[in-house]
Structures are given as structure tokens and as C-alpha cells.
Structure 1
Amino acid sequence: MKSLLTRWLLALTVAAATLVGLPSPAQAANWTPSSNPILFVHGWNSSASTWNTMISRFQADGWPSSYLRAFSYNTSQSNATTAQTVSQEVDKLLAATGATKVDIVTHSMGGLSSRYYLKNLASSGKVDRWVSLGGPNHGTSSANTCFSTACVEMRVGSTFLANLNSGDETPGSFTYGTFWSSCDGVINPADSTVLSGATNTKTACVGHLSLITDATIYGQVRDFVNP
């Protein structure tokens, strides 16, 4: 009888949560009302849709859709220019949710514009945690074969990276985390992603794009931004 009553009460709770648009108990295992909204920044020659799998997983874990924002941008322009867009997107997400801080999750080149934003444009009160998935934080030889402004900035030894990495690689009161794979294949050297002062995690042997679709890595990212 007790087990039947427990199941009945749980069913009522789930139904009530569904009616008011709140996460069910199963979904809310990770998200809490104090969790930050998340801004996703894609990489070179990509778009906001690259985040569809990860966003759907965050939603399944209870994050409201209004707390998950991805946007597309011109990946040929300077990362310094894109940083201005990142700044605008952070402000939009804060305004839409009423939150006081956001977390930023990035893939590949998206880590560079967002790092520029944190170092040069961000108010320390706007961002809590930042994640780089396979970011060319110290350059990649793959960028030697493309010639847009953004590609030149991603080359090992570029002026852009020298300035970005000068002094403290993880400045401000933000919490930095990187995830990199020895089997990345696009970021060369693979450990280019690693930053001094960050929590640096070597993942399983996965390719560059799998860093944003692998279920295990998703769980690691989720737990990093929502400790």
C-alpha cells in the first residue's frame, strides 16, 4: 500500500509540474532555481545549430529553454569583433531570464572571442563559469590552410593569441574550465586548449566535433557549470 501511495503522489507531482511548465522531479535532478542560464558560442565555419544535441540534454536535465541561448555569427571576422556580439548576447540572456550571471560554453574558435570578451569587455558580475571545448587557445596548425582574419588569429604565434594570453591566461573573477582530447584531429597540438589557472580536463579519445555531442563529456560540462 505504501509503495502504491508513493507512486500515486509522484505521479501527481509530475503532472502538476507539467501543468505549470516546471521541470519534473526526474528532470530537475541537475537544474535548480539558482542555476545560471547558459550562452553557447560555436566555432569556425559553424552555426548555432551545432549546439542542438547539448541543448536538448540540458533541457532533459531540467534547464528551461529560456535559459539556453545559442547564436550564429560571421566566423571570418576578427574574434575581437565577435566578442562585441558575445557581450550583446550575454546582456540579452540576462534580460530575458532576470538572472544576475550567465555561464558560457564554447567550442573550438568560440573560446577565443569569449575569452577576449572576459578579458577586455565583461563586467566581473555578469559571468560565473566559462568552458572551452577543444579551443585553439594557443593556436592550431589547422588554421594555416585558411586565410580569413579569424583563421590568421588562430595560428600558433599569432599577434591576437599573444595579446590574449599575455599576463594572466584566466583573468578576472571567472571560473575557467577546458576540455581537450588527444584524438581531436583539428586542434594541433591537441593540448593547445589547456590554460594556466583553469580546471583542465583531458577527455576520452574523441574527435573535435564529438566534444559537443559525446554524452560523457556533456555530463562533465553540466557538472562543471552547475556544481
Structure 2
Amino acid sequence: MRPALLGSVAVVLALILTAPSAAATDRYPVSYGLAGLAKAAEAQLTRPGSAPPGANNWSCKPSAAHPDPVVLVHGFTANMTANWQTVSPLLANNGYCVFALTYGVPAGTPFPLDQVGGRNPMEQSAAELGAFIDRVLAATGARKVDIVGHSEGSLMPNYYVKFLGGAAKVSDYVGLTPLWNGTNLAALATLYGLGRALGLGPLIDLLVGPIAPAAPQFLAGSPFLKKLAEGGVADPNVTYTTIMTKYDELVIPYTSGYLRAPNATDVVLQNVCPQDYAGHAMVAFDPNATQVILNALDPANAKPVRCHFVPVSP
């Protein structure tokens, strides 16, 4: 057998041997890693726009053990269908009422482009999220929700928390691959700043705006990020957990995810599990990250992270 093929077999075996197994009582199958990504692709192709498994049961009533419903907030250019095929069923199996939305789709966008979310200005998406959370609270009778967000979904909800009254309605806030200080991917933040300094800001905004006006807001030093940082990024009434990966190819540098606040816990996956090579997208399907999520939402019953090998992945 050729060495390359042997390596591929070894990776597959490692994934099979280290992947968490479903308990007999689990209502929903949970797939991790590459299998989770494949499941997300399959769901998007066959059931576009559908809620992920375990989510959006509007008759769900929170238990005493988990009184806060969990709202899942996807990333930039993603949607609820693809982003949460692992996290949603896992949370539902653990007794949570789970809800998810696709946000940030410009009005009038036709199918299939309407499956590409997170494009509207984040201020607008934050208001959309707030309306959805109000609906969740009304349906469940809960006082507060927990938020689990990925990429843009780890950043945009904080605008809702700080400026739209969300601090009174959010208890725990878990961010996957967050970018509180923005990203300088491919030196775009530097180039964008230079362009604005040269008076080209209106032209740049005109070119980017019709496609994805949220995109420039992610760049380090953007007006959106500066406003979010006013008075400190973290709201003192909310408990934050940030989950970063050193192999994040979109959040540059990955340390932009550090919140460094007294009410925040900053977790770098590789400091917990050195054999975790997950990239930006894979964190939402990562068995090590999902245990950190469970611990953050229920610290009284936290369990040690049983490290699983995660191969190099997007």
C-alpha cells in the first residue's frame, strides 16, 4: 500500500476510533469532524432552509436543569441548516430547548442566494436576532436565553447585547472563532484603512455594499468594532466563553478572539487538546469544542474534555 494511502487510512481510523459515540438514549444522531461537514452539505443540498436536527421545536419547555433556551447564531455567508448539524442535535440530546435562525439575508433575495446569510450590516442583523429571541422567550416562557454563535455569530450578537437591550435577556454567551478585534486576513484591514485614508472609502463601500455590507465590519479597526469596544467589549451582565483555534485561517490573528474580561473565559483548543488541528469552519463540528460548549452552558456539571484527534481541516 502506498504511503499516501496509508496516511489517509490512518486519518480515517483515527476519526472513527476517537469520535464520541452516541448514547442509546440520544434522540438525534450527532456527527463530528469531516462526517459532520458532510452531513451539513447533504442537508443543505436536500433540505435547504431547514432547521438543524433538534432545533425550533416551538412547543419545547425548558427544564429546571436547563432553564435557558439556546439560540444558535451562524457565521458569515452561512445559514442555520449547514452551520449547526453537530451542535444542535448535541444540545437537544442534552436536554436543551434549541432554536436557530438564518439572518442577514437582503430582502428580495431569490433562491438559492437566500441561503447565504449574514450579509446585511450587523446592526440590522442584531435587530433581527433580537426579534427572534423575543419570539423564543414568548414561546418558552423563559426569562433569558443562552447564545452559541460561530464566526459572525460570535460577534454580531454582542451588538444586540450592548445596544439593543439584549443584556437583560442573555445569560451565557459562547463564541466559536470570535474576532472581537477584527481580522486582517490577507492584509485587507490594512488595505481598507489605506483606501479610506486616501479618500476612497465611498467607492469601496459602493463596490462592497450591494454584495455583503457586513464584510468590511469584520476588518480590524472598522467603525463597527470601535463602537462595540466602547466601554469595554464584554457586558458585565453576561457570562462569555470564547473558543479559538490556532489554525484559524480567516481570523488573523486568531488571538483577536481573546476577550480578556473578568466575566469571560478564553479557550484556545490547542491548549486543551494539542492534536486538534481544526480550522475556522471545523470548530462548529469539533468534538473537543462541543464539550467546551456543554461545560460553558452548564458549569456545575462540567466534564473534562476527552481529547479527540481532529485532522487539518478548513
The bucket for the TM-score relative to the shorter chain is 0.7 to 0.9
1:47 CA drift (Å): 0.2
Distance 1:123 1:58 in 2: 22
Distance 1:161 1:97 in 2: 33
Task: Choose from 64, 72, 79 the match for 1:33.
Answer: 64
1:119 CA drift (Å): 0.5
Distance 1:125 1:139 in 2: 26
Distance 1:174 1:96 in 2: 22
The CA RMSD over aligned residues, in Å, is 1.9
Report 1:128-207 matches (<5 A): 128-142=171-185, 144=188, 147=208, 148-197=212-261, 198-204=264-270, 205-207=277-279
Letter in 2 for 1:214: D
2:113 aligned partner: none
Task: Choose from 59, 62, 66 the match for 2:92.
Answer: 59
* Post-superposition CA distance 1:130-183 (Å, at most 9, x none): 011002211112383993321110011111101111221102311111010101
The answer to whether the Cα contact below 8 Å between 1:138 and 1:193 also exists between their aligned partners in 2 is yes
Q: Give the 3 Å change call, closer, same or farther, for CA 139–124 of structure 1 in structure 2.
A: closer
1:27 aligned partner: none
Letter in 2 for 1:85: E
Distance 2:254 2:70 in 1: 26
The total of aligned residue pairs comes to: 195
Partner-residue secondary structure (3-state), 1:206: coil
The answer to whether the Cα contact below 8 Å between 2:160 and 2:166 also exists between their aligned partners in 1 is no
1:33 CA drift (Å): 2.2
Residues 1:42 and 2:42 are matched in the alignment: no
The answer to whether the Cα contact below 8 Å between 1:118 and 1:172 also exists between their aligned partners in 2 is no
Q: Give the 3 Å change call, closer, same or farther, for CA 89–180 of structure 1 in structure 2.
A: same
1:18 aligned partner: none
The answer to whether the Cα contact below 8 Å between 1:134 and 1:187 also exists between their aligned partners in 2 is yes
Query: Structure 1: which 4+ aligned runs deviate by more than 6 Å?
Result: none
Partner-residue secondary structure (3-state), 1:52: coil
Q: Which runs of 5+ in 2 are unaligned?
A: 1-24, 26-61, 106-117, 190-206, 271-276, 300-314
Q: Which runs of 5+ in 1 are unaligned?
A: 1-13, 15-30
Distance 1:190 1:154 in 2: 13
Task: Choose from 272, 277, 290 the match for 1:218.
Answer: 290
Letter in 2 for 1:195: L
Residues 1:103 and 2:146 are matched in the alignment: yes
Identity, % of aligned positions: 29
Partner-residue secondary structure (3-state), 2:128: helix
